[in-house]
Each structure stands twice: as C-alpha cells, then as structure tokens.
Structure 1
Amino acid sequence: MNRDVPALLVRLVHAPQQHGGLGVLRTLGRAGVPVYAMVEDAFTPMAVSRHLAGRFAIPPTALDRPAELPSLLLDYGRAIGRRAVAVAADDESAVLLAEHADVLSAWFLLPPVPPGLPRRLTSKEGLFHICAANDVPAPRSWAPADRAELLALAHDVGYPLVLKNREAFTRLSAPVVSHTTVVHGEDELLACLGSRQTPSVLVQEYIPDAVAEDWITHLYCDRHGVARLVFTGFKIRSWPPYGGATTRAWSRPNPRLAELAAGLCRRIGYRGIADLDWRFDRRDGRYKLVDFNPRTGAQFRLFETRDGTDVVRALYLDLTGRLIPTAPQADGRMFVLGQADLPSAVVSARREHRMPEALLPRRGTERAWWCRDDPLPALAEAVRFAGGVTRRLARTSAGVFTKHPPLHA
C-alpha cells in the first residue's frame, strides 16, 4: 500500500445506518491508509470509527442539485490536500464519478470506466437491454410507459410480479416501492402505485423461491479491463426477506458464475469495483442477472483472497500503481448483518415452514458492525437502532406502521 495516498468514501444518499461504507474505512484504515468519508452527522456509525481520518458533510439536498456536486467534491479534494482514491458507496456516487471524471481527476484517482456506463447499469431498464445485447440471462422485464400500460401488462402476464424502481436517481426522489417488491394481485399493485399516472418502475417476471437460489459476485476490473479479482457467494437471507439487503451470506466457489460475470464486464468495457446479484433458476438451469451495482457492495467484506485482498484494496493498489496480489478466494467466510438477520430468519422460516438456516456465527464470520479493533460504530448503530424501534412502536400504536419496514435503514 502507498500510504501517502489518501482515500475518500463518496456518498450522496442519506443512509446513516448503511454498513458498506464502514467496511471501506476498516479495510483501508487497517492497512494504514488515511480514509476520509462523506457522512450525515458526527454521530453516525461511520463518523465514530477509529479508522476515519476526517469527515465531510453530505448536503441535505445533494440529489436535488446534481450540477453542484462536482464542485463540492473538488472542494473536499482541496481540503484533503492530496490527490485521493475515490471510492463510490452508492449508485448515485458511481454515476457522478464516472460522468465527471474529466473534472474530478484533478483531485481524485478514478478507474477509467466509460462515462455513461454506470448510469446504464444502475438503470433497471438499461441493465435488461445490456443483458439482452450481451447474451447474459436475465428475468423477463418490461418498462411500462404509464399506469394504464402497467395494469394491462400485469393482466396479460399474470401475477405474481416483481416491481423495482427504474432509475438510480428516481428511487429516492419518486420511489414507487421502497425495495424490490413482489405483488401477488391487482390490489397490491394499486397500493404500490397510489395515484401515480407515470410510475418510474420496472416489472420483472417472478422466479419462485422454491425453484431459485440467490448468488452474489463481487469483482474488480483493473485499468485495462482485466478482472483481477472475481468472488462468488451464496445469499442465505435478506431484509426485507427476498428483496432487501443481504443479512447473511457465505463465500462459496462457483467457477461458472465467476466466468459469466467476468465475461460480461469484459464485453461492456467495465472498469472498477462491481457488485452483481444473480437468481439461479432451477427450471432452466441458468443464472439470471437481477442487479449490477457499479460500486462497492454493502457486503463486500464477505470476500477476500487467502492473503487478505478484497475489491477495495484491489482498487486502491491498482489506482496507486501497485500490483494486485493473485491468490485464490478464501472460501467458507460468512457475513452477518447483526440485528436484521434474526427477524429475517423468523419471517423466512414462517413462510417456508422450516427451521431457520445458519443462525449461529461460524469461524471466519465478518460482522457488519462489531469488531474488536473498532467497537464504537457498533455502539452508535445500537443507539440508532433502538431509537428506530421506539419510533416504529409509536407509529404502531398510532395505526400507521408500514408493512415489513427495513430494520437496518
């Protein structure tokens, strides 16, 4: 590691309990790299990490004024005082860094990804077209133009159907659903739509859980487009169940899936860190791509090589002119998202009429919040989580508790 080069974790979405950024601070901070981060306030879990060298504010209206964001990042670069490696923590940040790389490169080291590619990848409609053009399996998808077309489509295709917000930037400004949502009938669909006449939503075919498996690939493609690291893992649970953030997963070798992911990145000219979600459909024996995140994934610390290199360290080494060590994936590691995994296990077990799988930690478990060398973020998260539970209980008594609220967000 070239410890003279700092790093900046770029975040535009207000999500103080998002745990992926904390993993970035820890993996680079432990290597002696000065890591700065954009945070919501001084009391978020990331802001109290011992590995944080300095913090900058995420503007409350960051996504409302996108034209001002490049200047803001340049100001942060000048405040750091040295050219820094920029690490995108959310889709919007990945799009910003790619589309304004020519300006931002004055203060930041960035992977040379094609400028318009991250926006197309974060668009659910754009990703479907990329898959079709590159012969990568994906669930059948439709992008209805308006409410009438959506209702007609649902009638023709039939239920259940999967709904996703179509574009990265509208998922927060005008979301149709709070997360990937399965609707089982017209009443549920209408409840999601509300009064919207032109909902920005993608409709996907539903692959039944009984015939499916959820898999993850995390990879790093270097400046020349070579996939230097390709990790594969199996997702056990998520919250909300079957459509939210990973709460428990383990690293597992899958050469077929690794080649599928690396081949797609090679054909589209991708550079940098990528986090891909796949749905294995036992009915036709194919892995179907459901999400391509052109950034660090929240559970990226699940994966590392046997010598301890993960995708964030690979990015840092590559952009600072160092060699990326080559070593096999460390298999059998487990990732757990603390308090969100237990309710997910309970809900999943009730729906599937079986005992929950893998409730206890195992050797090599990577916890999202707790670690011995950096305990304060776990304490800060516990305080915020308790406050969130209290607020939700208050809303319950008022009769406005929403169905399946994400406990970690």
Structure 2
Amino acid sequence: MPSGVPFDLDREVPGLIVKFGDYPLHHGGVGAIRSLGRLGVPMYAITEDRYTPAAASRHLRQAFVWPTTGTERPERLVEGLLRVGRRIGRPTVLIPTDEEAAVLIAEHQAELADRFLFPGVDAGLPRRLASKQGLHELCLEHGIPSPESACPESYEEIEDFAAKAAFPLVAKNCEAFVRRSRPAVSGTTRIATRDGLLALARGWGEHPGVILQEYLPREDAEDWIVHAYFDADSTPLAMFTGVKVRSWPPHAGMTANAYVVDNPELADIAARFIKQIGFSGVVDLDLRFDRRDGRYKLLDFNPRMGAQFRLFESESGIDVVRAMHLDLTGRTVPEGEQLAGRRYIVENIDLPALLAYRRSGYTTPHAPAHASGTELAWLAADDLRPFFTMLARFVRPGVKHMYQLWRTNRRSARATAG
C-alpha cells in the first residue's frame, strides 16, 4: 500500500474505463486511470485509437481500441464489452465516462454481471436521470427545486408556449443521447425573444425533442457541483461539494475551473433526493443557486463519474472512483472530510473560458482564501505522456473547434436576439 494512504484497495480486481463515442480528449478517464493505477490497481480502457491521452498513460496496463459512435445497437455494445471482459480474464470494475455507457450497463445488468462489477440500480433509472425531461419530472415528484420547464411536442405547442413565456429562456435537448445523432440545439442555447424561439423551432422538425426552461441570470446565480458515491442502500459513502468557476463553452459547457467549498445544505439536498429515488453508484450533479428565491435548482444529473471528479478528495485519500472500487470489492470506505481549498484546472479550455468570462464581467463568490492545492486535468509529474499527447491532438484541431464554437455562439446570439 502506498505510504500515506489509510486504506488498501483489492489489487486483484482491475478497473475498466468504458466510453462510447468519439471524444479522445477526455481528462476524466485519464484521472480515473491515475487515481486507481497509482495505488496498484490494474487499469484498462476502451479508446478510439492507440494515440489518445488515456492510452498514453503509464498507469494504464492496456488500451482496447474500439471506435464507436454511441449510436450502435445495444446488443452490439454489450457483446463488445463482454469480449473485452474475456480478454481481461477476471472480474473487473466498470467505470463509465458518459451517459451512453452508464445507461447501457444499467439496462443490461444480467448479461454483464458474470464478467463485471458495477452498482446495482433500477434498470430504467439512469436513462431517466440523464434525460432533461425525465429529471425534471423526478424533481417535481420529489419536491426538488428545478428551473420552470416545458417539453412541447409540436411546433403548435411551441407557439402556444411562446405566447405566454417569459424571456430570455434556454433550450436543451431532452435526451442526452441525441448529441451523437441529430441534436435540435447545440448544448444549452439562450433564447432572448419570442421571435427568436419561433425561428429556431422551425428547424426542429415534427417532434422538437427539446426542453424549454426558465433562464437563471448569471448575476443572480451561482453554479455548484456535487460529486458522490452511493452504496446499494443509497447511502453516501463519499460526498463532495464545490463551485464551478468557469466552463467551456461559457456558462453552459464542461467545467474548466472549479474549487472545493463545503456546503452541508447542498450535500443534504443531494443525499435526500438520491435516497428518495433509490440510486446507487457515482453521481455528478450541477445545481444553480438562485439568489432571488434562495433555492438550489437541479440542472443536470449525470449518473456516472464526472470529468472533474479529481477536484475532490477526502482527508482519507478517497475520491468517488476509489470509493466505488472499495465498495464493490467488499472493502470499507474510510470516512473523512473533503480537503478544503482545492482547485481544479483543465489546461486546454480554461484560458479561452477565462477570456470569455472576463469580457462578461462575471465573478464567482466563495473563493477559498488560501488554495490548499491545485489539481491539473492533464499535467502530472509522474505521468507526462497524456499531457503531451493532448497537446499534439488539441492545438490545431482544438483551436479550430473553439473558433467554430465561438462563431456558432455568435450566430446563435444574433438569431435569438431577434
């Protein structure tokens, strides 16, 4: 056991990073490989090719090259996972990095159980949680605050909604999975006027597939995150809270910069909700504190490991991935308070996010007076190759992609402004 770590993982049980779709620059998978690999757990990963940052990690025992889109038939994906399991040759903890993987595992537990270890959960729950509409319905059922929302099923219903709605508002795809096929909107889209909404809606087809939500103004809101692991009884064995400082694309995308802030009220809200719905496993929640009414409103529920999970670690050396591995292998998860003042930075997206946030004049409260440490998503002294692999793959196409995102957001802003 490495010095300073007050627990002993079962090194006979490997971990497998499960990801579907083409997104090779995923720092969360690299973080999980390092988190368990540094403690001697054999780590494996499904990768798009042999030259991804995850495949380059010195803590990875083997990369299984398996290009997917995330839209394959479930039977094909299950068979592919079983094939990987046979090559590993022993029971393995599954670590999904996207909703497609989390939902597939939940809906095919019987077929996968002989080869893999994963939290048992109601088969339909992860799909419902990953859906914006499903999550909103669950919030209403259990009295959890969330933004006012509507899910129109036709253009006519959108017209009726627009006649009574307060603007601005935001539009999101109802289902997480449509980003792999034909999304109606690109991520979270702010719509300023009735005319802007109707103009966009004309391109959404017969079945819009969007959820329209109230807009929570940045100047009156704070972005919070909760990462946790819940056991088979929906009891939290690891619970962490923090503030999202910046994201990319700005205010609507992946976390680029965040820090740890203790928030017992928020942790209690999350724990009660997850107990009510009976979820088991790792969660990554996004909530927005609305200063106008003093309530935390649940925006997103990711039923899997979040990419920025390494922001959080307890005094006992526990993060959510370590907690899951310990629990699924029958070992005790040691208690411990979260390490305060930690920061997390995703190097390749935080600089453009910083520039965008400075232009908007947005500031985040609750910054720790003294940072106790900074966790970088890519750069690690004991594992340099993922960082340089990321740079090689990111610099040219990455800058082009960010420019395209910027132009898309500019065009969207002009269109939605009417």
- TM class by shorter-chain length? over 0.9
The structure 1 residue matched to 2:63, chosen from 21, 34, 55, is 55
- Residue 117 (structure 2) pairs with residue 88 (structure 1): no
- Alpha-carbon offset, residue 152 of structure 1: 3.1
- Residue 45 (structure 2) pairs with residue 37 (structure 1): yes
Q: Give 2:329's aligned residue.
A: 320
- Residue 409 (structure 2) pairs with residue 403 (structure 1): yes
- Alpha-carbon offset, residue 188 of structure 1: 4.4
Q: Give 2:139's aligned residue.
A: 131
Q: Is the 8 A contact 1:240 1:344 kept in 2?
A: yes
The structure 1 residue matched to 2:344, chosen from 311, 315, 335, is 335
Q: Deviations over 1:81-113 (max 9, x none)?
A: 011001111011110000101110110001011
Q: Is the 8 A contact 1:154 1:161 kept in 2?
A: no
Q: Give 2:260's aligned residue.
A: 251
Q: Is the 8 A contact 1:345 1:356 kept in 2?
A: no
The structure 1 residue matched to 2:191, chosen from 178, 183, 193, is 183
Q: Give 2:36's aligned residue.
A: 28
**Partner Cα distance (2:79, 2:364) in 1:** 53
The structure 2 residue matched to 1:268, chosen from 267, 270, 277, is 277
Q: Give 2:25's aligned residue.
A: 17
The structure 1 residue matched to 2:244, chosen from 235, 244, 247, is 235
Query: What is the one-letter code of the residue matched to 1:312?
Result: V
Q: Is the 8 A contact 1:166 1:200 kept in 2?
A: yes
Q: Give 1:352's aligned residue.
A: 361
- Alpha-carbon offset, residue 309 of structure 1: 0.5
Q: Give 1:364's aligned residue.
A: 373
Query: What is the one-letter code of the residue matched to 1:226?
Result: T
Q: Give 1:205's aligned residue.
A: 214
Q: Give 1:65's aligned residue.
A: 73
- Alpha-carbon offset, residue 268 of structure 1: 0.7
Q: Is the 8 A contact 1:348 1:356 kept in 2?
A: no
- Alpha-carbon offset, residue 124 of structure 1: 0.4
Give TM-score scaled by structure 2 length. 0.90
Match of 2:61, SS state, is strand
CA shift in 2, pair 1:355/1:306, >3 Å: closer
**Partner Cα distance (1:274, 1:351) in 2:** 30
- Alpha-carbon offset, residue 395 of structure 1: 7.4
CA shift in 2, pair 1:354/1:367, >3 Å: closer
**Partner Cα distance (2:94, 2:254) in 1:** 24
Q: Give 2:176's aligned residue.
A: 168
- Alpha-carbon offset, residue 362 of structure 1: 4.7
Q: Give 2:414's aligned residue.
A: none
- Alpha-carbon offset, residue 356 of structure 1: 12
CA shift in 2, pair 1:355/1:199, >3 Å: closer
- Alpha-carbon offset, residue 284 of structure 1: 0.7
Between 1:339-348 and 1:76-85, the stretch displaced more is: 339-348
Q: Give 2:309's aligned residue.
A: 300
Give TM-score scaled by structure 1 length. 0.92
Match of 1:402, SS state, is helix
**Partner Cα distance (2:276, 2:39) in 1:** 33
Q: Deviations over 1:231-258 (max 9, x none)?
A: 0001111111111111111011000000
Query: What is the one-letter code of the residue matched to 2:156?
Result: A
Q: Deviations over 1:258-285 (max 9, x none)?
A: 0000111111111010011100001110
Query: What is the one-letter code of the residue matched to 2:178?
Result: T
* Percent identical residues: 47
CA shift in 2, pair 1:32/1:355, >3 Å: closer
Matches within 5 A, 1:110-125: 110-125=118-133
- Alpha-carbon offset, residue 339 of structure 1: 2.5
Q: Deviations over 1:129-170 (max 9, x none)?
A: 111111111111111102332243133203211111111222
Between 1:273-282 and 1:168-177, the stretch displaced more is: 168-177
**Partner Cα distance (2:240, 2:395) in 1:** 34
Q: Deviations over 1:51-107 (max 9, x none)?
A: 111112333344232231111111110010011001111011110000101110110
CA shift in 2, pair 1:241/1:40, >3 Å: same
Q: Give 2:388's aligned residue.
A: 379
CA shift in 2, pair 1:321/1:392, >3 Å: closer
- Alpha-carbon offset, residue 187 of structure 1: 5.5
Unmatched 5+ residue regions in structure 1? none
Q: Is the 8 A contact 2:347 2:377 kept in 1?
A: yes
**Partner Cα distance (1:371, 1:380) in 2:** 13
**Partner Cα distance (2:404, 2:148) in 1:** 38
Match of 1:169, SS state, is helix
Between 1:49-58 and 1:212-221, the stretch displaced more is: 49-58
Q: Is the 8 A contact 2:50 2:65 kept in 1?
A: no
Unmatched 5+ residue regions in structure 2? 1-8, 412-418
- Residue 161 (structure 2) pairs with residue 156 (structure 1): no
Match of 1:14, SS state, is coil
RMSD: 2.3
